[in-house]
Structure 1
């Protein structure tokens, strides 16, 4: 067996997204089409914050493992995008404002109060994966950004059309993300193409992307189970009608 060419490997990665990216999850389909209640949107924003807040920690652990200064500089921009260059800036701040617009207290969101246990486990698993797995796999796990720009456009347009309790201002997190994701994926893809030079390494890259898709899917499974038709909210999690 011979290694795939870079374009063929990219096709294989895109196939993973077509089959397993979380835009296909029933919860997201309902979220984007107006089928979620306000409490479901609240629960989604609160739990997603736990993921967003972990991204800089994940990226910092990856940067610490990089020997290439150029790639460190490129990856460092991800920290700035999320943390901002100063207080009151960055993607995490914008996500906090979304949560506040939905009725949550900022301090409670930052403390992850009311976050589902499954969300905590999924986020911790992703951070541990990037910290502990081979560097090639850690980089490859970020490649869900291949699929996110179009999903973001669908999400924003759908939510603005269907929910009167959100606005373009409250969804400002998503304004910069398509461009940022497209930029970030270029450096990650270049690294993967340069280092995934054998069939085994290419299989590992695909498996890393599948793992990341599983993390995102599992988070939505938990939201759907707790706040969807089953309505089985675990102890300590956000309860509709109130904020944590």
Structure 2
């Protein structure tokens, strides 16, 4: 089976937009101002586990990649999340958001609130990056194509609907919006260039679909937990 033209391949990837987590019921309730403080805390604590593991996922992709040029490009993602020194980076900014919604740093870092469903989904994503070809791992990150609009919407909603959250808690979103301003074009270019067979193209589409499932599984876990009304 021959590879399809780049434009058709890109269209297949973009067609997965409805599977992204922007339409998840939990996000819809968040944007409508319908979440309790407890629900926001559960979301922040569980999303932390995903944030903590992103750098490990990207390091796994690097370890499989033979291209110095792509490794140089991709390692910037690790720096963005981990920072160049303590107290910097996207992961640190997420902790500040968790603190802004009323959690302590200690309870975020010891992961006492991380739900089994969240842990299972995120660990599966890291393992996926370790065991799949590097270009397939990179393709899973193409949720960047969909994330910019969601983050802008979420930042507006959080500021308007939950005015008790301190502004310094939004640093993760303000920084990340800038980081994904290109809507994943650099990542898309890598995937298109290095997916030269139809099998590789289909693997890339499957990887992006899997990543969407991982993200939605995290929200499924938090939504179910919140619906139980547990303390």
Deviations 1:14-35 (A, max 9, x none): 1101x20000111111111211
Separation in 1 of the partners of 2:129 and 2:10?
A: 21
Q: Which residue of 1 aligns with 2:89?
A: 90
Separation in 2 of the partners of 1:182 and 1:199?
A: 29
Separation in 2 of the partners of 1:182 and 1:14?
A: 16
Q: Which runs of 5+ in 1 are unaligned?
A: 234-238, 240-244
1:75 aligns with 2:60: no
Q: Which residue of 2 aligns with 1:41?
A: 40
Larger fraction in helix:
2
Count how many residue pairs are aligned between Structure 1 and Structure 2.
Answer: 231
Q: Which residue of 1 aligns with 2:162?
A: 163
Q: Is the contact made by 2:135 and 2:195 (CA closer than 8 Å) also made in structure 1?
A: yes
Alignment of 1:90-239 (within 5 A): 90-182=89-181, 185-228=184-227, 231=228, 233=230, 239=231
SS at match of 1:57: helix
Q: Which runs of 5+ in 2 are unaligned?
A: none
Deviations 1:12-61 (A, max 9, x none): 111101x2000011111111121111111111011000000000111111
Q: CA deviation at 1:183?
A: 5.1
Q: Give the RMSD, CA atoms, in angstroms.
A: 1.5
Instruction: Name the TM-score, length of structure 2 as normaliser.
Output: 0.95
Separation in 2 of the partners of 1:232 and 1:99?
A: 20
Q: Which residue of 1 aligns with 2:16?
A: 16
Q: Is the contact made by 1:49 and 1:95 (CA closer than 8 Å) also made in structure 2?
A: yes
1:5 aligns with 2:15: no
Separation in 2 of the partners of 1:125 and 1:94?
A: 24
Q: CA deviation at 1:184?
A: 8.2
Separation in 2 of the partners of 1:182 and 1:12?
A: 21
Of the structure 1 ranges 164-173 and 39-48, higher mean CA displacement relative to structure 2 is found in: 164-173
